[in-house]
Amino acid sequence: MPMKKKAKATASKTASKAAKRRKGAVVRKPAPKRAPSKPPAARKPPAVPDDAKAAIRRLRAELAQAKARIGQLEASADTDFLLGILNRRGFERELDRSVAYIKRYHASGAIIVLDVDRLKPINDAFGHAAGDEVLKAVVAVLLRHVRASDVIGRLGGDEFALLLWNLSETDARAKAASLEHTIDALSFVFRGRTVSAGASAGIAILGPHAEAGRALEQADSAMYVRKAQRRHET
């Protein structure tokens, strides 16, 4: 009996302590929800002074002028100054582009290399100004007989090249013969003397397997063969 009383007393004390702890416990309330913070206002860039604006406009204008000048220099590097057509460098650049296009899209074209006959005797007899007049007349003929999409270039001296699109070999040969005939018909009067020049033309066909340099060499070789034939014809 004494042991039971002691156990009850111990249990009573334990329950009393637990009740006191619960009574003294602090009840925490949930933290209030905060409103979402606003992003900081964007700062305005500092105002550019008027003198700085003027300097920027001036620099932009100078840059535009420099770019235009670069374009002019690049164009002049590819242009024959006397005749206003492409020089050898410019023609070869256009030929490379055209051959790449022909290979990619299976197009076709032809090169005609044309050499002006009897130009050296004219230069020797009447001076280079007379020879220049002959060259200008030849270029005028070439320009009248090609399309806007075709390309004309001066390879050097009295030699010219034409890049003609979408021509068969038969058409290219006919075009070369027509150019020869038209240039042969030109006549010039220097110091009271009437003289004529002439032209010899060779062709090469451009197809899907063409190489720019090789095609130009083929047309050039064909031109020399034609020049030899014309000497025997006369």
Active site residues: 158
- 215 neighbors 108 (Cβ within 8 angstroms): no
| Nearest in space to 219 (alpha carbons), one of 98, 110, 90, 91 | 110
Cα 180 to Cα 116, 145, 183, 226: the distances in Å are: 9, 11, 5, 11
Strands (DSSP E) found in 58-177: 109-116, 151-156, 159-165
How many Å apart are CA 45 and CA 171, to the nearest integer?
68
Q: Please measure the distance between the N-terminal and C-terminal CA atoms of the chain and give it in whole angstroms.
A: 157
Return the closest-CA partner of residue 104 out of 215, 218, 214, 206.
Answer: 206
Among the listed residues 96, 166, 218, the one whose alpha carbon sits nearest the alpha carbon of residue 88: 96
Q: Kindly list the distances between the CA atom of residue 4 and the CA atoms of 1, 9, 11, 128, in Å, as whole numbers in the listed order.
A: 5, 9, 11, 144
Question: For residue 139, which of 172, 94, 102, 186 has the smallest C-alpha distance?
Answer: 186
